[in-house]
């Protein structure tokens, strides 16, 4: 009985891996063995960064809200405390979008927070 080879199966497997590895630098996109390693590392990085992305975006939203609040004379932490006190239930993502896209609407939200801010925070308000 003749020996069976894996010619077609092996070729398909290699093609599948090399297709996924397109766009990587150097041998990572051309050599099968290196491509496997590149894909393993890419998968690890993708898994880690899916979690990191959420943290990064929250930090970006907080920075944007903080800048908008400071321009109006109140710190971020006092603004958020006053919003909670007023019962405004807008998340940070929406607050940052409003601060960028519609400053007039953010002024109204800010006015609500300024009215509910504690007395020590009101003394720090410029306007």
Distance set, CA 69 to CA 49, 87, 101, 124 (Å): 30, 18, 15, 12
Please report, in tens digits, the pLDDT of each residue of the chain (127 residues total).
788 888 899 999 999 999 999 999 999 999 999 999 999 999 999 999 999 999 999 999 999 999 999 999 889 999 999 999 888 899 999 999 999 999 999 999 999 998 887 665 555 555 5
pTM of the model: 0.74
Write the DSSP string, 27-68: GGGT-HHHHHHHHHHHHHHHHHHHHHHHHHHHHHHHHHHHHH
Q: Which domains does the chain have, with CATH numbers?
A: 9-51 (no CATH), 54-122 (1.10.1900.20)
Burial 104-125 (b: 16+ CB within 10 A, else e): eebeebbeebbebbeeebeeee
């Amino acid at each position: 009985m003749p020996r069976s080879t894996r010619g077609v199966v092996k070729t398909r497997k290699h093609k599948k891996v090399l297709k996924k590895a397109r766009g990587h630098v150097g041998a990572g996109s051309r050599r099968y063995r290196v491509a496997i390693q590149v894909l393993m590392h890419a998968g690890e990085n993708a898994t880690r960064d899916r979690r990191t992305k959420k943290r990064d975006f929250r930090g970006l939203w907080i920075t944007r809200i903080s800048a908008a609040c400071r321009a109006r004379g109140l710190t971020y932490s006092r603004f958020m405390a006053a919003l909670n006190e007023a019962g405004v239930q807008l998340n940070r993502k929406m607050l940052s979008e409003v601060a960028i896209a519609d400053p007039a609407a953010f002024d109204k939200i800010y006015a609500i927070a300024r009215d509910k801010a504690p007395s020590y925070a009101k003394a720090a308000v410029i306007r």
